[in-house]
Amino acid sequence: MTTAAEDDLYDVIVVGAGIAGATVAKVIAGAGNRRILMLEAGRATGMSADKYQSHVEAFQATLVKVPNAPYPNNPNAPQADVLSLRQLVAQPTPHQPPGSMIGTEGALVQTGPLPFASDYVRALGGTTLHWLGTSLRMLPNDFKLQTLYGQGVDWPFGYDALKPYYERAEYEIIGVAGNVADQYYPGIDDSYFGDYEYPMERIPPSYLDQVLSQKLDGQRITVQDHEYTLKLSNTPAGRNSRPRPGYQVVGAVGNPLQGQRCEGNTNCIPICPVQAKYNALKTLYELMMLHPADGEPTPSRSSVRIVTQAVASQLTLDEHGRISGVTYKLYDDENSPAYETRTARAKVYVLAAHAIENAKLLLASGVANSSGMVGRNLMDHPLILTWGLMPEKVWGFRGPLSTSGIEPFRDGAFRDRHCAFRIEVGNEGWSFAAGAPYSTVAGMVYGKEKLFGRRLRAKVGEVIPRQFRLALEMEQIPQPSNYVTIDPSYRDALGNFRPVIRYDLPDYVRAGMAAAREASDRMFALLGVPKLSPDQDPDTFPFPGEYTAYHPTDVGYLTYGGHGYTFFGAGHVAGTHVMGSSPATSVVDPRQRSWDHDNLYMVGCGNLPTVGTSNPTLTMTALAIWAGENVLEDLRGRS
Amino acid sequence: MNLLQADPSQSIEGLRLHLQYAIGLELTTIPPYLCALYSIVEGENSEAVEAIQSVVLEEMLHMSLAANVLNAIGGVPSPDPGPGLGGISPIPVYPTKVPFIERIPELHLLPFSPEAVDTFVAIEQPLEPHPPTAGQEQYDSIGAFYQAIERGLQEVGTEEVFAAARVSRAGCQVSPHLYYGGGGSVIEVDNLADALRALDQIVRQGEGVSPEILTQTVIKHVAPVLGALGNRPVEDGDELPYGWRPYSHYARFTEIREGRHYRPTQQVEETPAGDVLPVEWDAALPMTPDPKAEHYDGAYRAAMTAFDQTYSALVNTLYHSFNRHPEALEAAVLAMYDLKYQAIALMQTPSPLDPRLTLGPGFQYLRSAPPLSRNTRAWREATAR
Amino acid sequence: MADITIPSSAPRVALAAAGSDLSDSIETFLRLSELLTGFDRVELLRTGMVEPYYDEVIRVIGARDVGALLAVVDGLDAESGSETELETRLRTTILDDERYGPVARNIIAMWYLGSWAQLPREWRERNGAMSADFDRVVSAKAYREGLVWAAAGTHPMGAKQPGYASWAAPPTGERA
């Protein structure tokens, strides 16, 4: 990666080289004649086959295999990591009133009352390095939450406006495998897909999916007076499968023959060893090939320069209130705080650094915030897990981490009372839920039974293949009281601000957890998985049985209606610079441009006014394509 | 045995026989490549791994192409020995000398080593194909062998032949969607033009590649990478794209043998003199050369035999897929993965016969191994197109 | 048959010429591992982890204590009896023993999971704590060769992937 000369005036500077930034750059570069600079805070490690392999080995050698396990923390571009989460305890400091809570380990400063439990990656390629790959579109009613259900806000446009961009995101950026015929969503009609089909055939459903389908499909359950008909949907995913005619599969970066099909590594999170799963390095690689940095822009080609280890720290304004430059700190060695300060200038600036990092940069610069909404409306998909042992072996720990979901709970009249949720079927046994298989073996070897030899081997063979879990992911609604902000007392090694988070979940969402747990109870009953009876000892793994357990000492423990739930973050960080129809209540307009500065665009999940129940990456990518077109419109108007 | 006596330009039976042995020929080089590939310690020698892997995938493609051509002219792909040819099966026994081609060296099952790579370079060496002269008992080269088949197609591959095969061999063509991970693609063969295209792909991509490439400068010898350079041809003076590599197996193996990349201005026939290509010859599991299950006892023998069973089932599954069960190809692809892990496990097991060496994959073909199938209704539904 | 030069840095394989002390110890360690894990000697050898795990145990526990443990193992086989009787003797002389039990359980977990778990506090206070005794994955290869995956009919997550669509049916040879 080369460095940028300070005198250059670029057409566009993109801050952040993850999927959102890469998408915008691709759209703009593809129109030819442009010079683009991309600034990435983290390292470029993943680009070469050898270095990518070092990530895989790092993962294999790590004891606690969390999503960021392969991507070591970088003090100069610290990234949130779930390992640093802990239950927040009252720890008043001179800065905070007594009774408030501070957690300062890790990259995020948590002020509570609940921990913000999601992570992200700051490296070339961004969080798509460790994402699962699930590529679901939002539902039409998700865009009208306020009008239909009196909750949250409406988007400034509807599903139909975004639909063509969804198709492009699925074809041109991510490459999605799925069958339209296998999607069973509530509240949609034939116009939702039209005569569209995904570019690749669906990822084959796992054996577990098939077992669940047999027992659940067509069954009706009632949860809190609302009736649902169960049916598994095969989950569309950014993961290589058999291409449909006309689509060219994109393999691993720099080694295109590898990763042309998912091979069942069962490791999507935290890293796909063969790169069958989409990651943004693929798009960045394409940019490097087709629009080399040192090439002269022509009508069919642009110049895209990618600078890594460059942390944007400030946006400056000129006397007309337009962005006049981005100042960034360029460092050589992630273990040394030494850096060089540089400034780069462009006609248009696009922030694509992640919902939290975008907000942080705006706040640090004191720009784009006439609405007061920068950093506010922080959202995630808080999820709860339920898990158990099936009556028969379902052969988990095979295939991608998830291949199916149960979607009927994503929309309905109940949304005026409690949030919608989506059920993700997990193929990885109790890995997420209980640290299996390590915990399972440890339990058998060190626990009550102290098994060994042939009996141990046999018991492992009886228990682990029966493990399964469901993840119930809640739609969190926007609340200005959930926010990320900055505080001069909290800075990282380079002197940049650390994100300071305030986070809580309202009753609307907790009521959704309660409803989801009930739905899970009904399903477990249909599966023949009863609650364990008092005389069954879970330490000996009797089956069948439900093993869901939430403990008051769990990091994400909360209560509602007399029950406790343990929630996790899904890594779906959104809302911190919402898009809207009014400058008084939103940060960017429906074109994703700042209301306050006509040469500043924001992309990423920070733009989402509400999150629905779909993993937001696909939606964000669709929006990023649209934003790219809007930037081009501006550039053409300008010159 | 003298395959040349069954002149493919004289009779359709001769042509079919040649194609039977073409299938076997493409299979023959795979086990030596796999032994070298699987012996490489995980994480090491990534260039060599990539190079060998891509060759193996292409050989498997070539098997399918040859089978498609054979089926299209009414032949029945079979691992059984051809009539009147001394009972030699197309399926090799190692160490092996391909009886009908002179210039292929004796092939052994060896771990990754300079000797092994020398063999690969020799196999992939581009040679001018010379049609056999009268009385010759072997083809000079692989190129000459395929040249004879091509001529045979043009002589005896009439429309009547293809028409009859459309009926008698309906449903036997392997289709493209199952093949991935290697260059090229499967061609379904319906007529003479298709057959010639399929042959051309085997020759162009593989060992029959023309000696013209030897005087090509490397910059023109670049494999297309992710539609790099906007799909326009590479010009001299172009900067080579990130991660470029030469496209011919000969060039790639030469680089590995020499431990150096070519400089872009060199010709392919020169000794590579560019950047160092680090090769750790020591990072290879020390498998017993040409290992055989019957040399061992007890659990060791059982492990070796289990490998032979998997391999044989794989071969028989491939033939099954060429005989009206194309869906069996999926089971074959899955068996390839299984084969790999069994091979590596053998190469990690110390040999009771020699403590410096390990067991290894014997690749002994057992004709009776039943073809693999996942042809249950549930499987078909789960993987349906 | 081609002449093979054994590279000097080839991975060391266990069981060198009979009669050497080193090979006897590893042989006994292999025997202990068989009894503890329920996998037979060839299944263990084919992981390539016999010697690395032996080395690991010595690093953490020390050669003297390992020698003592292996002497007990030798004694087990000396008496004849059924497999069940052997397992009972293993339990009483090793697994239930204050000194050897925690070590033996760690060896089981190491074979199954590829990681070493720190020995219990009481053990370390009584027998001494070595610096290598902390929770860790022994190596990336140890992770990949963990026995738990094969015992559960699958592959290590992130390695030894079984191929496209393999997950749509039970593992080959297995029934529901």
Residue B194 sits in the same domain as residue B310: no
Determine the average pLDDT of the residues in A22-47. Answer: 95
What is the structure's pLDDT at B204? 74
Mutation to test the C interface, candidates B44, B119, B337, most C Cβ within 10 Å: B337
- Which 8-state DSSP code applies to residue A560? E
Q: Which of B227, B243, B385 sits opposite A254 (nearest CB)?
A: B243
Cβ-defined contact of A255 to B378 (cutoff 8 Å):
no
Q: Among C17, C47, C168, select the one facing B379 at the smallest CB separation.
A: C168
The gap between the terminal CA atoms of chain A, to the nearest Å, is: 29
The three-class DSSP label of residue C10 is coil
Measure the CA–CA gap between C123 and C108, rounded to whole angstroms.
17
Nearest to A397 among C147, C157, C170 (CB): C157
Residue C164: list chain B partners with CB under 8 A: 333-334
On whether both B253 and B151 belong to a single domain, the answer is yes
Side-chain-facing half-sphere of A359: CA atoms under 13 Å: 30
Nearest to A205 among B228, B229, B382 (CB): B382
Within this chain, do residues B204 and B139 fall inside the same structural domain, yes or no? yes
State how far the alpha carbon of B311 is from the alpha carbons of A55, A294, B31, B308, in Å. Answer: 33, 51, 10, 5
Question: Quick one: pLDDT at residue C130?
Answer: 86
In whole angstroms, how far apart are CA C37 and each of A63, B284, C146?
A: 21, 28, 11
Question: Same domain for B101 and B189?
Answer: yes
Amino acid at B287: M
Burial label, A387 (beta-carbon count in 10 A; 0-12, 13-18, 19+): buried
pLDDT bracket for residue B361 (50, 70, 90): very high
B81 and B161 in a single domain? The answer is: yes
C154 in reach of chain A (CB within 8 A): yes
| Closest among A458, A427, A430, A424 to A444, alpha carbons compared | A458
**b/e sequence A464-488, b meaning 16+ C-beta within 10 Å:** bbbbbbbbbbbbbbbbeebbbbbee
Is residue B275 domain-resident? no
Number of domains in chain B: 2
In B59-187, DSSP assigns E strands to none
Within 8 A by CB and 6+ apart from A408, the residues are A184, A186, A228, A229, A230, A231
Q: For A92-103, how does the pLDDT look when each residue is reduced to its tens digit (9 = 90+)?
A: 344 444 434 556
Asked if the C-beta of C10 comes within 8 angstroms of chain A's C-beta atoms, the answer is: no
Whole-angstrom distance, CA of residue A556 vs CA of residue A568:
6
Look at residue A560 and tell me whether its pLDDT is greater than 60.
Answer: yes
* Amino acid letter, B314: L
**Nearest-by-CA chain B residue for A274:** B181
Residues of C in contact with B376 (CB under 8 A): 169
The residue assigned the tokens 């062998």 is: B145
Whole-complex ipTM: 0.93
Q: Examine the domain organization and report whether B102 and B197 are in the same domain.
A: yes
Same domain, yes or no: B252 and B300:
no
Which of chain A's residues have a Cβ under 8 Å away from the Cβ of B329?
Answer: none
Examine the domain organization and report whether B94 and B190 are in the same domain.
Answer: yes
The token pair at A565 is 């739930």
Dihedral Cα A368, A371, A373, A374, nearest 10 deg: 10
The pLDDT of residue B136 is: 87
Q: Same domain for B78 and B181?
A: yes
Identify whether B47 is part of a domain.
Answer: yes
CA distances from C35 to B123, C77, C95, C138 (A): 48, 11, 11, 21
Please give the Cα distance from C45 to A340 (Å, whole number).
54
Q: Does A141 score more than 90 pLDDT?
A: yes
For residue B8, is it within any domain? yes
Rounded mean pLDDT, B291-314: 95
- Single out the residue of A421, A431, A419 nearest to residue A511, CA to CA: A419
Contact B228 A289 (CB under 8 A): yes
Nearest to A17 by CA among A297, A293, A272: A293
Q: Indicate the helix (H) or strand (E) that contains A304.
A: strand A303-307
Residues in chain B within 8 Å Cβ distance of C11 = 41, 285-286
Measure CB to CB from residue C17 to each of B108, B299, B355 and give the nearest one.
Answer: B355
Q: For the ranges A197-201, B124-128, B343-347, which has the lowest average pLDDT?
A: B124-128
Q: Exposed, middle or buried, A328 (CB in 10 Å: 0-12/13-18/19+)?
A: buried
Cα gap A507→A558, rounded to integer Å: 11
List the subunits that have 3+ CB pairs under 8 angstroms with C: A, B
pLDDT given for residue A1 in this prediction:
40
Mean pLDDT, residues A76-80: 90
Q: Which residues of B touch A242 (CB under 8 A)?
A: 177, 385
Question: For A479-501, how does the pLDDT look when each residue is reduced to its tens digit (9 = 90+)?
Answer: 999 999 999 999 999 999 999 99
Range of the domain at B348: 293-382
B285 inside domain: no
- Evaluate if residue B235 carries a pLDDT over 80: no
Element (H, E) at A514: helix A507-527
CB contact under 8 A, A445 and C87: no
In a domain, B266, yes or no: no
> Closest approach of chain C CAs to the CA of B357, in angstroms?
8
Distance CA B97, CA B290 (A): 13
Both B242 and B360 in one domain: the answer is no
Q: C175 burial class (0-12, 13-18, 19+ CB within 10 angstroms)? A: exposed
Answer yes or no: do A49 and B182 touch at CB < 8 A: no
A-to-C residue pairs, Cβ atoms closer than 8 angstroms = 160
Q: Is C41 on the interface with A (CB under 8 A)?
A: no
* C81 CA: distance to closest CA in chain B (Å): 22
- Report, in angstroms and rounded to the nearest whole number, the Rg of chain A calculated over CA atoms: 24
Percent of chain A with pLDDT over 70: 96
Are residues C4 and B108, on separate chains, in Cβ contact within 8 Å?
A: no
Structural Rg of chain C based on CA atoms: 18
Checking if the pLDDT of C10 tops 50, the result is no
Å from B83 to nearest chain C CA? 31
Point out the domain boundary residue: B258, B278, B305. Answer: B258
pLDDT tens for C128-162 read: 888 899 999 999 999 999 999 999 999 999 999 99
Which pLDDT does position B242 carry in this prediction? 58
- Chain C CB contacts of A65 under 8 Å are 157
Q: Tell me which chains share at least 3 CB pairs under 8 Å with chain A.
A: B, C
Interface touch C161/A392, C-beta < 8 Å: no
Could you read off the pLDDT of A145-190 as tens digits, one per residue? 999 999 999 999 999 999 999 999 999 999 999 999 999 999 999 9
Provide the residue type at B237 as one letter.
G
Report how far residue C138's alpha carbon sits from residue B204's, in angstroms, rounded to the nearest whole number. Answer: 47
Rounded CA-CA distance A416/A395 in Å is 39
A7 — pLDDT class (breaks 50, 70, 90): low
Lowest mean pLDDT among A71-75, A353-357, A530-534, A546-550: A71-75
pLDDT of residue B228: 42
Taking CB atoms and an 8 Å limit, are C164 and A241 in contact across chains?
Answer: yes
Length of chain C: 176
Q: Which residue among A59, A398, A445 places its CB closest to the CB of C109?
A: A445
Residue A278 has a CB neighbour count (10 Å cut-off) of 27
* Confidence label for B333 from pLDDT (cuts 50, 70 and 90): confident
Residue A257 has its nearest CB partner, among B177, B183, B241, at B183
Cite the beta strand spans of A497-615 per DSSP E.
Answer: 500-503, 545-546, 557-560, 563-568, 600-602
B375 interfaces chain C, CB cutoff of 8 Å: no
| pLDDT for residue B211 | 81
Residue B264: inside a domain: no
Chain B's closest residue to A247, CA to CA, is: B177
C173 touches chain A (CB under 8 A): no
Residues A185, A410 contacting (CB under 8 angstroms)? yes
Whether the CB-CB separation of A485 and A363 falls below 8 Å is answered with yes
Cα torsion through C131, C137, C141, C147, rounded to 10: 120
C-alpha to C-alpha distance for A434 and B203, rounded to whole angstroms = 54
Q: For residue C160, which residues of chain B lie inside 8 Å, CB to CB?
A: 341
Q: Retrieve residue C102's tokens.
A: 């925690």
For residue A481, what are its two tokens? 């009281």
Q: Does pLDDT of B205 surpass 70?
A: no
Q: Does A260 sit within 8 Å of B181, measured CB to CB?
A: yes
Average pLDDT, integer, range A397-406: 98
Using CA atoms, how far apart are residues A494 and A41, in angstroms rounded to an integer? Answer: 11
- Measured CA to CA, the distance from residue B54 to residue B50 in angstroms comes to 6
Inter-axis angle of helices A159-168 and A617-638, to 10 degrees? Answer: 90
* C176–chain A Cβ distance below 8 A for any pair: yes
Closest to B31 measured CA to CA, from B39, B43, B41: B39
Mutation site, B180, B232, B235, B377, interface A, largest A CB count within 10 A: B180
DSSP B10: T
pLDDT computed for residue A559 by the predictor: 94
Instruction: Find the closest chain C residue to B300 by CA distance.
Output: C42
What is the residue-averaged pLDDT of chain A? 93
Q: Is the pLDDT of residue A2 over 70?
A: no
Q: Are residues B238 and B335 in the same domain?
A: no
Give the pLDDT confidence of A604-627 residue by residue, as tens digits: 999 999 999 999 999 999 999 999
In chain A, % of residues over pLDDT 90: 85
Asked if the C-beta of B57 comes within 8 angstroms of chain C's C-beta atoms, the answer is no
Cα of B285 to nearest chain A Cα, Å:
19
Number of CB pairs < 8 Å for B and C? 95
Task: Quote the CA–CA distance of A385 and A439 in Å, as a whole number.
Answer: 17
Q: Is B277 a member of any domain?
A: no
With an 8 Å Cβ cutoff, are A289 and B229 in contact?
A: yes
B144: which 2 tokens? 């000459």
Q: Does A53 touch chain C (CB under 8 A)?
A: no
Q: Do A257 and B230 touch (CB under 8 A)?
A: no
Q: Which of B206, B238, B258 is the last residue of a domain?
A: B258
Do residues B171 and B299 share a domain? Answer: no
The CATH number linked to B15 is 1.20.1260.10
pLDDT of residue A214 exceeding 70, the answer is: yes
What is the least distance, in Å, from the CA of C128 to any CA of chain B? 35
The token duo for B251 is: 């060039």
What does the pLDDT average to over B125-129?
84
Q: How far apart are CA B145 and CA B203, in angstroms?
A: 10
pTM, whole model, 2 decimals? 0.93
Residue B280 lies in a domain: no
Average pLDDT over residues A456-461: 98
In tens, the pLDDT along C60-93 reads: 999 999 999 999 999 887 777 788 889 999 999 9
- Among B238, B258, B278, the domain-final residue is B258
C159/A265 CB distance under 8 A: yes
Residue in this structure with the two tokens 């290869």, named with its chain if needed? C141
| Per-residue tokens: B185 | 């693609």
Report which listed range, A116-120, A411-415, B1-5, C63-67, is most confident: A411-415
Question: Is residue C111 within 8 Å of residue C41, measured between CB atoms?
Answer: no
pLDDT-derived band at B234 (thresholds 50, 70, 90) equals low
Return the SS3 of A162.
Answer: helix
Q: How far is A244 from chain B (nearest CA, A)?
A: 9
B14 or B82, higher pLDDT: B14
Contact call for residues C108 and A456 (beta carbons, < 8 A): yes
A242 with B385: Cβ contact below 8 A:
yes
Helix (H) / strand (E) element for A221: namely strand A220-223
Helix axes B46-72, B249-258, angle to 10 degrees: 160
- With 80 as the cut, is the pLDDT of residue A639 above it? no
For A317-332, how does the pLDDT look when each residue is reduced to its tens digit (9 = 90+)? 999 999 999 999 999 9
What does the pLDDT look like over B104-116, one tens digit per residue? 999 999 999 999 9
Please tell me the predicted confidence (pLDDT) of residue C9.
Answer: 38
Q: Which chain A residue has its CA at the smallest distance from B232's CA?
A: A290
Q: State the angle between helix axes of B30-39 and B328-347 in degrees (0 to 180), rounded to the nearest 10.
A: 50
Task: Check residue B230 and give its pLDDT.
Answer: 45
Residue of B nearest to C7 (CA): B282
A376's torsion region: left (phi>0), alpha (psi -120 to 50) or beta? beta
